[in-house]
Amino acid sequence: MDRPTLISDKWRAGYAAQRLAEFTARCRRRGLAITPQRVAVMRVLVNSGDHPRAETVFAEVRRQYPNISLATVHRTLETLCEIGEARKVTPLHDSARYDGNTAPHHHVVCVRCRKVCDIDAPEFNRLLHGRRTLGDFELLGCSVEVHALCGECRKAAAANA
């Protein structure tokens, strides 16, 4: 069946090992230096079942590298996102975006300029199929964020290529 399931710690442990094993090769391929700080940030992130903030990663990495700078952690996390080794849980975070539409609906977000449009998709409103819980969580609702390139950004991207 296709029910949603929480990803298990066991799965994550295997996944993390795999990712870390490939990490140095991937950095080299991208022309990035393999520094102990970079590896440490990557390790903490990929081992975390949580979705940590920069500050949290900093606290953890610091135990092994007491001299690491918070700025380095921020820079490294951004770098990891740029090369596709990590992602932000939300692409919209610099400032809060508010939505006056309280009817159930979803969003399409331009990954380049971050424009957001509302979409109506009854099918998306039925994703939970009436399920009330998932593991320890009591489910309340869900929202779908479709990632896309808007018309303008599509043109801009084509022009740059």
Give the footprint of DNA on residues 7-66 (CB under 7 A).
Answer: 27-28, 31-38, 53-55, 65
Q: What are φ and ψ of residue 110, in 5° steps?
A: -75, 120
Residue 160 engages its own copies in binding (rule: CB under 8 A): no
* Residue 33 binding result from its own copies, DNA, none, given CB thresholds of 5 to 8 Å by partner type: DNA
**How far apart (Å, rounded) are the C-alpha atoms in residues 49 and 7?**
9
Residue 111 engages DNA in binding (rule: CB under 7 A): no
C-alpha dihedral over 64, 70, 71, 73, to 10 degrees?
A: 50
**How far apart (Å, rounded) are the C-alpha atoms in residues 85 and 62?**
21
Tokens read off for 87: 């992602």
Residue 51 engages its own copies in binding (rule: CB under 8 A): yes
C-alpha dihedral over 72, 74, 75, 77, to 10 degrees?
A: 120
* Site mask for its own copies (CB under 8 A), range 61-100, x = bound: ----------------x--xx--xxxxxxx-xx-xxxxxx
Residue 95 engages DNA in binding (rule: CB under 7 A): yes
* Site mask for its own copies (CB under 8 A), range 104-133, x = bound: -xxxx-xx---xxxxxxxxxx--xx-----
**How far apart (Å, rounded) are the C-alpha atoms in residues 47 and 51?**
10
Provide, rounded to whole angstroms, the least separation between the CB of residue 29 and its own copies. 15
Residues forming contacts to DNA in the complex (CB under 7 A) are 27-28, 31-38, 53-55, 65, 67-72, 74-76, 78, 93-96
